[in-house]
Amino acid sequence: MYDLAKPFFWEVLNIGRQCSRTNFVTLNNLGYIEMEIGSLDSAFYFLDQSVQTAKHRGSSESAVVMQTMATYYMKKKAYDSAYHYLRLSLHRSEEHNYQYQKSRALSALSKLFFEINRLDSAIYYINLANAVATEHGFQKIVMENYLLLSKIERAKGNKTAALDYLERHSNLKNSIFNTEIISEISQLRRSYEITKTNQYIEQLTIEQQVKTKTIRYQKIIQYILLSVLLLIGLVLTIMAIQKKNLNTAYKRLIEKNVEINEAQKDLFRLRSEKYKKRPLTDEKQNDLLTRIYELMEDVSVVCDTEFSIEKMANLLQSNHSYVSQVINGNLKKNFRTFVNEYRIREAQRLFSEMETSKFTIEAIAEKTGFKSSNAFRAAFIEFTGVTPSFYLKTMLKNKS
């Protein structure tokens, strides 16, 4: 992705040599790319030019440039220099009332103090960042801050608080992702409905013009009208059949869900009775649940087709009974459902990438750990309410 972006920024830089604003923003972007691919010397060359230009400008973009330079020094572990540029970024953000960048700069300051183990200062700045982000609705920044807060609390030995922030991060991450997808799908549907209505109106207009111009040819007009009526009747018949089939499918889906829910209730009840004989303390449960969440963030582990509860227990250096007890008792779901949630989330991420169009549904199912495309399709419908093919088509139409 970075290799594709670099020529574009070089072209922008050449075109905009007469515009200092374009230059320092483009230089900043080139420096960021070089930094991300590990070329720190090249990154400093671009970033230094960008900073020197930005110092003489009072625009809000200069706050972003200062933070990028701070990120460079963070990678070099030159924390004093990083702190200097983060304070500059914060000052420029406040000067131009750039609230989004202000919350990002505060979050970066918190991360800096966390890396140098000044946890009280890290908490102070992250609370300021969250206050700004919450007030202005920057949910992604709040989500990232929850993850950092979890690490800070864990470093302080507060495992319960660390788990709480980790759960908030996970829940907000899912909420943001689902909201974006639902909004995109809704917008696509509205666009489709408007286009369909406009096409229908256009068709009626054309038919009226044809009638007006060819009134003398009544036999021909009658034939056209009859053909249109037959076509509409055929369309209505097909729609009625599709509606009937859809209702039948929904009814079967509801019946299956009821059966699954009843089976899960019985399973939870049996496992609860079994675990009463070997209870875990709250502290051990919280610690094990935290390690389970951390393990599930590893896509290579979750998407392994051979991943099982026994393998999870081995990786956590625990046992099958304790892992099963924590998942069922704390999350109110079984291991298969718990793992499938993460696998389907990874499938949604893969579908959102441009390169996804090169892969088949079967390939995505295999990449996310499902042993068959049928199992993948069933799990995808269970957690999203739509089929994988419909979801993929929607994403591709939205990108085009």
Q: DSSP code of 272?
A: H
pLDDT at residue number 275: 40
Q: How confident is the model at residue 13 (pLDDT cuts 50, 70, 90)?
A: very low
Whether residue 3 has pLDDT greater than 80: no
Which residue, among 67, 103, 107, 59, has the nearest Cα to 86 in the 3D structure?
67
Distance separating alpha carbons of residues 110 and 192, to the nearest angstrom: 45
- Determine the topology of domain 2-142 in CATH: 1.25.40
pLDDT of residue 191: 64
The residue type of 231 is L
Cα 68 to Cα 28: distance, rounded to the nearest angstrom? 7
For residue 268, pLDDT over 50 is answered with no
Contact partners, residue 34, CB within 8 Å, separation at least 6: 40, 42, 43, 46
Q: Which amino acid is at 55?
A: K
In the block, residue with structure tokens 């419908």: 381
Structure tokens at 386: 């739509």
Q: How far apart are CA 213 and CA 202, in angstroms?
A: 17
Please tell me the predicted confidence (pLDDT) of residue 26.
77
The DSSP output letter for 279 is: P
**pLDDT tens, 331-350?**
889 999 999 999 999 999 98
Which residues, 6+ apart, have CB-to-CB distance to 279 below 8 Å? none
Position 65 scores a pLDDT of 87
CA 179 from centroid of its chain's CA atoms: 9
Least confident of 29-38, 187-196, 197-206, 269-278: 269-278
When comparing pLDDT for 5 and 25, which is higher?
Answer: 25
- Residues 100-109, mean pLDDT to the nearest whole number: 94
pLDDT tens digits along 115-158: 999 999 999 999 999 999 999 999 999 999 999 999 999 999 99
35-44, 113-122, 236-245, range with greatest mean pLDDT: 113-122
pLDDT at 249: 53
CATH number of 245-399, picked from 1.10.10.60, 3.90.226.10, 3.90.420.10, 1.20.1260.10: 1.10.10.60
User: Quick count: other Cβ atoms within 10 Å of Cβ 204?
Assistant: 10
* 172-186, 211-225, 333-347, 369-383: segment of lowest average pLDDT: 172-186
Confidence at 19, pLDDT banded by 50, 70, 90: very low
| Residue 158 vs residue 198, higher pLDDT | 158
Question: HEC string of 218-230?
Answer: HHHHHHHHHHHHH
Residues 6+ apart with CB under 8 A from 13: 22, 23, 26, 27, 30
Work out the mean pLDDT of the chain and round it to a whole number.
81
Give the residue, 172 or 192, on which the prediction is more confident. Answer: 172
Residues 82, 73: Cα–Cα separation, whole Å: 5
pLDDT of residue 100: 93
d(CA 4, CA 1): 5
Of 138, 77, 83, 72, the closest CA to residue 110 belongs to 83
Q: Where are the domains of the chain?
A: 2-142, 245-399
Which of 143, 348, 352, 381 has the alpha carbon at shortest distance from 250?
Answer: 381
Evaluate if residue 80 carries a pLDDT over 90.
yes
pTM of the model: 0.42
Model confidence band, residue 60 (pLDDT cutoffs 50, 70, 90): confident
Rounded to the nearest 10 degrees, how much is the dihedral formed by the CA atoms of 39, 45, 48, 53?
-130
- Distance, in Å, from the CA atom of 206 to the CA atom of 208, rounded to the nearest integer, reads 5
